[in-house]
Structure 1
Amino acid sequence: MLEIKTKTFKELTKLDLYDLLQLRSEVFVVEQDCVYQDIDGKDQKAIHILGYNDEVLVAYTRIFKPGDYFDEASIGRVVVAKNKRHFKYGNTIMEASIKAVKTYFNENKIKISAQSYLIKFYTSIGFNSVGEEYLEDNIPHIAMIRN
């Protein structure tokens, strides 16, 4: 079971911030062997969607209102701890994130920058590829939209 908590940057505790940065680093930097600037100055504008299993952060996203990241509302930094992926927490955290975009921003159109190997996953939850594949931090990505 995944317990979802939604917080603004100001509502995050020091422990919340530590845990989410640790999870993002564990997956995006270490597991994916990608040196990049994760702490990008955008967390302060985001609403943070935190997914806990037994009080441990195992899934996370951040959402943005239109204009704060893309022209459309957006979801980013989608991450699930490697040892928890078989529980399909990716679906749960994305469902919560899509709902939060509607709740916080009253938006249905959502844009993401998806790692290309996850196109099938994002398509299964209503996103469609737009444009050409591109490299972001030397990893193939594709823009996707959900209406």
Structure 2
Amino acid sequence: MIVEKRFAELTPAELYGLLKLRVDVFVVEQACPYPELDGRDAEPGTLHVWVAEDDVPVSCIRVLENGEHRAIGRVATAVSARGRGLSAQLIARGLELCAGRTVDIGAQAYLEGWYARFGFERSGPDYVEDGIPHLPMRVIAPR
């Protein structure tokens, strides 16, 4: 089941679970010491979307407002939950939530083809973030 909540609606346990999942994937697994807490989680327009098992988030994204555009980011799935299509379900839901809007994503370069299956196209040059090759991608979410 997909859960969608704004920051103010999150319980302490949900917030902890989301942040733990993201730190486990981005900081620990990918060995990237960076400020995971970037201030955007608490913005009024940010929507946290996730799949939980036994009330613990195992896959998540967040949808941000960026002026006229939207952005999907912090796409993370626990090692134990990979290979089941959870991230794909969340990206599809994120695009539904952004219907008719331009949506940006900063994709890890090796996932360019994966995001392309949702209609994302490269929108600028490659860049390196926290030692990992990335590229900007963009799509207009279907209505």
Asked whether the equivalents of residues 69 and 101 of structure 2 are also in contact (C-alpha less than 8 Å), the reply is: no
Which of 28, 40, 43 aligns to 2:41? It is: 43
1:135 aligns with 2:99: no
Give the 5 Å matches for 1:1-147. Answer: 3-45=1-43, 46-67=46-67, 72-102=69-99, 107-147=100-140
Asked whether the equivalents of residues 128 and 134 of structure 2 are also in contact (C-alpha less than 8 Å), the reply is: yes
Aligned CA RMSD, in angstroms, stands at 1.3
Offset at residue 143 of structure 1 (A): 0.3
Asked whether the equivalents of residues 65 and 101 of structure 1 are also in contact (C-alpha less than 8 Å), the reply is: no
The amino acid of 1:50's aligned partner reads: W
Alpha-carbon distance between aligned partners in 1 of 2:121 and 2:79, rounded to the nearest angstrom: 25
Offset at residue 15 of structure 1 (A): 0.4
Offset at residue 56 of structure 1 (A): 2.6
Q: Secondary structure at the match of 1:83?
A: helix
The amino acid of 1:87's aligned partner reads: R
Alpha-carbon distance between aligned partners in 2 of 1:13 and 1:100, rounded to the nearest angstrom: 22
Identical aligned residues as a percent: 37
Offset at residue 54 of structure 1 (A): 4.0
C-alpha deviations, 1:79-102, integer Å up to 9, x for none?
111121110111111111111223
Asked whether the equivalents of residues 133 and 142 of structure 1 are also in contact (C-alpha less than 8 Å), the reply is: yes
Alpha-carbon distance between aligned partners in 2 of 1:97 and 1:15, rounded to the nearest angstrom: 23
Alpha-carbon distance between aligned partners in 1 of 2:30 and 2:19, rounded to the nearest angstrom: 15
Could you list the runs of 4 or more consecutive aligned residues of structure 1 that deviate by over 4 angstroms after TM superposition? none
Alpha-carbon distance between aligned partners in 1 of 2:98 and 2:54, rounded to the nearest angstrom: 26
Asked whether the equivalents of residues 131 and 142 of structure 1 are also in contact (C-alpha less than 8 Å), the reply is: yes
